[in-house]
Amino acid sequence: MKIDHHGDTPPYEQVRVHYAHAISNRELPVGAKLPTVRALAKDLGLAVNTVARAYRELEEAGLVETRGRAGTVVSANGDNNRERVRAAAAQYASMSADLGLSSQEALEIVRAALRGF
């Protein structure tokens, strides 16, 4: 992972996004241990609090869990979150079909909503 210290995205967000993508793409499986906050901060040339914030946000999203001295690991909730999104997508697809929207229209609505995030 490389941190762009001169970009618009804050370093903690770059760390968070990197791990969130790795977890959602299953590059990091459930139970995989993340580097310690101090080790990752040192490797990336960041303050410890910067990495701690990224880990906190990952934990709040249910993607990782901190197990005290055992460290921070990828949570099984990440898979549960993925399943919740799949279920919501299926419900949305059904609703849009019931309302007579074309697949293209339904996708455009989703794209617009995602751009808002």
Read off the pLDDT of residues 39-55 as tens digits, 9 standing for 90 and up.
Answer: 999 999 999 999 999 99
Instruction: Please give the average per-residue pLDDT across 1-6, as a whole number.
Output: 91
Structure tokens at 55: 């880990």
pLDDT digits (tens, 9 = 90+) for 79-93: 667 677 878 999 999
Going along the chain from its start, the domains and CATH numbers come out as: 11-74 (1.10.10.10), 79-115 (no CATH)
pLDDT at 108: 93
Q: What is the dihedral of CA 85, 87, 89, 90, to 10 degrees?
A: 170
d(CA 68, CA 71): 6
Instruction: Please give the average per-residue pLDDT across 89-113, as a whole number.
Output: 93
**pTM (2 decimals)?**
0.68
pLDDT at 12: 95
